[in-house]
C-alpha cells in the first residue's frame, strides 16, 4: 500500500461525504429528527455517527490523548454537525498527505465506544475506516428515502474513479 493509494481513498471518502452533506442541507428539521427503525434511529443519529467515526479515527491515528467520541457529546444543530464534518474532511486529507509511509506498518491503539481497548496496524485501520463510512452512507440513503428525500447522487468508488478520469482526460 502506498501513500498514493491512501490519499486516493481519503479523497474518495471526502468526495462521497460531500454528497451526503449536500443531501442533509436539503432536508428539514422534521426529516432530520424523524424516528426510524435502523442501526441508528434517525438521519441525525446516523450523520452524527459518520462524523464521529471520521473524527475519532483521526484522533486515534494522531494519538490524541483521551479522545472522545463526538456521538457521546454532540448536542448541536444540523448545521453545526455539517461544519464539523467539513472540517474533519479537511483534517483527514491533511493527515493522510503528511503521514509517513514507513508508519503504515505500525500499530494503532484505539478504544471502542464501550471502553474496550484494541489495536490494529495502520494499513488495516484505514481501509476499515473507508469501508465503515461507505456502509453508513448506504444506511443514510435508506433513511433519507424513508423521510421522503430522493435527490441522490451515486457515491460508488467506481463512479469516483470514472469521474476523476474524465476530468483529467
Q: What is the spatial distance between Cα 107 and Cα 123, in angstroms, rounded to a whole number? A: 9
Whole-number Cα distances in Å, 106 to 57, 102, 109, 142, 162: 15, 8, 10, 37, 32
Express each pLDDT in 62-117 by its tens digit.
999 999 999 999 999 999 999 999 999 999 999 999 999 999 999 999 999 999 99
| Tens-digit pLDDT profile for residues 114-142 | 999 999 999 999 999 999 999 999 999 99
Annotated binding site for a divalent metal cation: 49, 132, 136
Q: Tell me how many degrees the CA angle 41-71-44 measures, rounded to the nearest 5.
A: 40
Cα separation, 140 vs 134, whole angstroms: 10
What is the spatial distance between Cα 43 and Cα 52, in angstroms, rounded to a whole number? 14
Evaluate if pTM is beyond 0.85: yes
Domains of the chain: 3-168 (1.20.120.450)
Binding residues: 49, 132, 136
Amino acid at each position: 500500500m502506498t501513500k498514493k493509494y491512501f490519499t486516493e481513498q481519503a479523497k474518495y471518502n471526502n468526495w462521497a461525504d460531500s454528497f451526503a452533506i449536500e443531501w442533509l442541507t436539503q432536508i428539514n428539521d422534521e426529516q432530520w429528527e424523524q424516528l426510524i427503525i435502523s442501526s441508528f434511529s434517525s438521519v441525525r443519529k446516523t450523520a452524527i455517527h459518520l462524523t464521529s467515526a471520521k473524527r475519532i479515527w483521526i484522533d486515534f491515528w494522531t494519538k490524541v490523548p483521551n479522545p472522545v467520541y463526538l456521538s457521546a457529546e454532540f448536542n448541536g444543530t444540523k448545521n453545526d454537525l455539517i461544519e464539523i464534518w467539513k472540517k474533519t474532511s479537511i483534517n483527514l486529507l491533511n493527515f493522510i498527505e503528511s503521514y509517513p509511509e514507513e508508519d503504515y506498518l505500525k500499530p494503532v491503539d484505539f478504544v471502542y465506544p464501550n471502553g474496550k481497548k484494541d489495536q490494529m496496524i495502520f494499513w488495516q485501520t484505514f481501509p476499515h475506516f473507508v469501508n465503515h463510512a461507505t456502509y453508513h452512507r448506504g444506511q443514510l440513503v435508506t433513511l433519507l428515502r424513508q423521510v421522503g428525500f430522493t435527490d441522490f447522487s451515486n457515491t460508488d468508488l467506481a463512479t469516483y474513479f470514472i469521474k476523476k478520469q474524465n476530468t483529467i482526460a
